[in-house]
Structure 1
Amino acid sequence: MSRQPLGVVAGTGFASIDALDEVVHERVRTAYGEVALTRGTWHGLPVVFVPRHGVGHVVPPHRIDHRALIRALADLEVRDVVAVNVTGGIDPDLEPGDLVCVDDFLDLTRGRETTFFENEGAGGVVHTDMTHAYHPVLRRELLDAAGAAGETVVDGGVYACFDGPRFESPAEIRLAALAGGTVVGMTGVPEVTLAVEAGLRYAAISLVVNPAAGVRPEEPITMEEIEAVMGTGVPRVLAVLDELVHTRAVLAVEDDA
């Protein structure tokens, strides 16, 4: 098992990871800007934690510098990135509190910086395969960790990404549903595609906190509802991540033996 740092990227509800030891808060400079992050150890393994919205949750989703975020992780020699997204449920079968390990995405954003390969050069145009943008091996690790932690996680789903910071309209959700979207958020893309371009293995777990607009018209979206679901959902997600890191720590010890 590699001892390269594990990257953890999370947003709303995940201001810090209390399980980290030997914590160091840093601002890392990249060619795309600075990134505030935390380095530490978790079960003895190195971890780099990046809060997407910055310290104090001050950066709205449409202003996140995803290129700087991913570049910082790559520059710190992270190979694997586990992302956490708080989402709405497009699939009417999803309930608030459900966890989904997504395996595909829809990019419905506009005007975001979406690639590291934007300039012409001697290497020519670069096209990156996104068939398995969410890495199958890392996804399997997450699902196995969830099982070991006693948490039910839906295996597979399509993350539909809109710009925000407003919630989507019912018509936009119907459009995403027609294209196969099962959960909706504001931050998962281009984070996933940039990770693939940077050569990182990336997987993501979505915490569903509300039915998306129009899915249950009688249930309006309220921040009170979302915060209540996060109150119970965030510890469950952290339990899955804790089991993932613990398993990796055990395998690392076995490899050293």
Structure 2
Amino acid sequence: MTTYKIGVIGGSGLYKMDALKDIEEVRVDTPFGSPSDAFITGKLAGVPVVFLARHGRNHHLLPTDIPFRANIHALKQLGVEYLISASAIGSLQEAIKPLDMVIPDQFIDRTRNRVATFFGEGIVAHIGFGDPVCTQLADILADSVDSLNLPEVHLHRGGTYVCMEGPAFSTKAESHLYRSWGASVVGMTNLPEAKLAREAEIAYATLALVTDYDCWHPSHDSVTVEMIIENLHRNAANAQQVIQEVVKRLNENPPESEAHSALKYAILTPLDQAPEATKTKLQALLHKYL
């Protein structure tokens, strides 16, 4: 099986770029069920890359129903070491405008109905998550955006992403609460994705693509579905350019991320005393510690 060190999770349109060559579909079975869809693999400037439509190519999965564990585990099986999460989000700040890009460095988890760990069943691990984004990968993302001089796009480095359960959007009271916390953007998908990527020792960073202001904004009621869809398409086109640049830079100078050894001191259970069935289930994550 080909190894893909670079993975991208996002909308189904991200991989539809002319520069992607040798395109194939790959289906992966995991101990945690089936991923959201088949993976789309190919090469950008000769570099192997794997893409996954987070909600499925027909957008049939609610945020709560995304098989996060299967998605991340499958990427680990494919050899992914660097994962870019392209995510549509709403802005919580006046200065963060539709079509802007944000590279958050913090998350607030407001989800309620999602499993956020691979562990359990006889093996306990507590990853460090104080800095939930890989700094090196985030810097490469930001530098890539800056280098492209994309029209109408302003980049915001850093910020806090509030991940809510959905599928309904925020109430105005919730939106104002998130603003009072100093949060930057709100979305529905990046947790537990980021936590699971850290447990899988995959460097993770978010490219947050602003489609609209959240409902706190005085002009929110003038935002139409058509406007949001148009912004989604424009954001996808911009994100394609960013991904190509990131892939080039990662290939030329892949950083060593702290995420790549996240489990080194996180596993509390003596693995020689752990259940064999659980060790087998987590083989892809634990193999270098067994």
- TM exceeds 0.5? yes
RMSD across aligned C-alpha pairs, in angstroms?
1.9
Provide the C-alpha distance between the structure 1 equivalents of 2:43 and 2:231, rounded to a whole number of angstroms.
28
Specify the alignment match of 1:10 in structure 2: 10
Superposition pairs of residues 136-215 of structure 1, within 5 angstroms? 136-151=135-150, 152-215=154-217
How much has 1:5 moved relative to structure 2? 2.1
State the 1:249 CA deviation.
4.2
What CA distance in whole angstroms lies between the structure 1 residues aligned with 2:174 and 2:14? Answer: 27
Residue 237 of structure 1 corresponds to which residue in structure 2? 239
Distance 1:189 1:92 in 2: 24
1:34 match: secondary structure: coil
Equivalent residues in 2 for 1:47-196 (5 A)? 47-121=49-123, 125-151=124-150, 152-196=154-198
Instruction: Say which SS state the counterpart of residue 34 (structure 2) adopts.
Output: strand
Deviations 1:120-168 (A, max 9, x none): 34xxx32111122110000111111112111442101111111112111
CA spacing shift, 1:210–1:21, aligned 2, 3 Å: same
2:43 — aligned with what? Answer: 41
Could you say which structure has the larger radius of gyration?
Answer: 2
Taking a change above 3 Å as real, the CA distance of residues 12 and 45 of structure 1, as seen in their structure-2 partners, is closer
Question: Letter of the aligned partner of 2:128 in structure 1?
Answer: D
2:132 alignment partner AA? A
Letter in 1 for 2:25: H
> Taking every aligned residue pair, what percent have the same amino acid on both sides?
33
Structure 1's consecutive aligned runs of 4 or more residues displaced over 6 angstroms after TM superposition are: none
Q: Is the 8 A contact 2:14 2:240 kept in 1?
A: no
Larger displacement relative to structure 2 (17-26 or 43-52): 17-26
* Rounded Cα–Cα distance in structure 2 between residues aligned with 1:33 and 1:13: 24
Gaps of 5+ in 1: 253-257
Q: Which one-letter code corresponds to 2:245 in the other structure? A: E
Q: CA deviation at 1:93?
A: 1.7
- Give the whole-Å Cα distance in 2 for the aligned partners of 1:86 and 1:150: 20
- In structure 1, distance between residues paired with 2:148 and 2:59: 28
Q: Distance in 1 between matches of 2:176 and 2:205?
A: 26
User: What CA distance in whole angstroms lies between the structure 2 residues aligned with 1:107 and 1:16?
Assistant: 31
CA distance in 2: counterparts of 1:135 and 1:202, whole angstroms? 6
Q: Which has the higher strand share?
A: 1
Counterpart residue identity of residue 146, structure 1 = V
3-state SS, counterpart of residue 88 of structure 2: strand
d(CA) in 2 for partners of 1:169 and 1:56?
27
Alignment match, 1:255: none
Of 197, 200, 221, the match for 1:219: 221
Deviations 1:101-124 (A, max 9, x none): 111101101111111123334xxx
Work out the CA distance in 2 between the residues paired with 1:215 and 1:109.
23
What is the TM-score with the length of structure 1 in the denominator? 0.89
Conservation of the 8 A alpha-carbon contact between 2:107 and 2:161:
yes
Q: What is the number of residues matched between the two proteins?
A: 247
| CA–CA separation in structure 1 for the residues paired with 2:116 and 2:70 | 11
Q: CA deviation at 1:220?
A: 4.5
Deviation at 1:180, TM superposition (A): 2.8
Distance in structure 2 (CA, Å) of the matches to 1:39 and 1:15: 9
CA contact (8 A) 1:213 1:221 kept: no
Residue ranges of structure 2 left out of the alignment (5+ in a row): 255-290
CA contact (8 A) 1:43 1:249 kept: no
For 2:60 and 2:129, the matched residues in 1 are separated by 30
Matched residue SS, 1:7: strand
In structure 1, the residue corresponding to 2:146 is in which secondary structure? helix
Question: Is this contact kept in 1: 2:213–2:220, CA < 8 A?
Answer: no
- Report the counterpart of residue 24 of structure 1 in structure 2: 24
Taking structure 2 as the reference length, the TM-score comes to: 0.80
1:57: Cα distance to partner? Answer: 1.5
Indicate how the Cα distance of structure 1 residues 15 and 163 shifts in structure 2: closer, same or farther if over 3 A, else same: farther
Cα distance in 1 for partners of 2:28, 2:40 equals 10
